[in-house]
Amino acid sequence: MKRLVIAALLFFPGIGHAEYFDTGSDLWNLCTDNASGHNYLCMGMSTAYFDMMRATGYRCAAPAADREKVRDVVLKFLTDNPDKRNQPASELAITSLKTAFQCVEPAPPQATRPTITTPKSGKPKGKNGPILLTPNN
């Protein structure tokens, strides 16, 4: 595992300065260059995107997929859409995985507004009295 991390750092020395870490072209090159270990990095990145989707609440109708299937889905999308490879790899991977595995995005969290309540005595306190905030639910 340490070797993979070191290899990734050597192959991507300037990623900290980018607007986003990897473009679709970066991922495409990694997945297609046949360099030693890049197949595992390609598979790892593709499955990491899928894992993060599921961890953040995406629900997928398709049955659970293995790592190779996930990699193949992302790679096919990059192959079929060369004009989009300048976009962030994460966005392209999510787009391809949502389609292939029929995933639905999580609903955004509902914001609740606090309400002001009066003290138990029923009489509001004066200017300097406490204001109690309680949620609406």
Where do the domains of the chain lie, and which CATH numbers do they carry? 2-104 (1.10.890.40)
Q: Which residues contact 47 (CB under 8 A, 6 or more apart)?
A: 67, 70, 71
Q: 2-6, 35-39, 88-92: which range is least confident on average?
A: 2-6
Q: Supply the pTM of this predicted model.
A: 0.65
Q: Is the pLDDT of residue 2 over 70?
A: no
d(CA 21, CA 35): 20
**67-109: per-residue pLDDT in tens?**
999 999 999 999 999 999 999 999 999 999 999 999 999 888 7
Question: Maximum CA pair distance of the chain?
Answer: 76
Looking at residue 15, its pLDDT comes to: 46
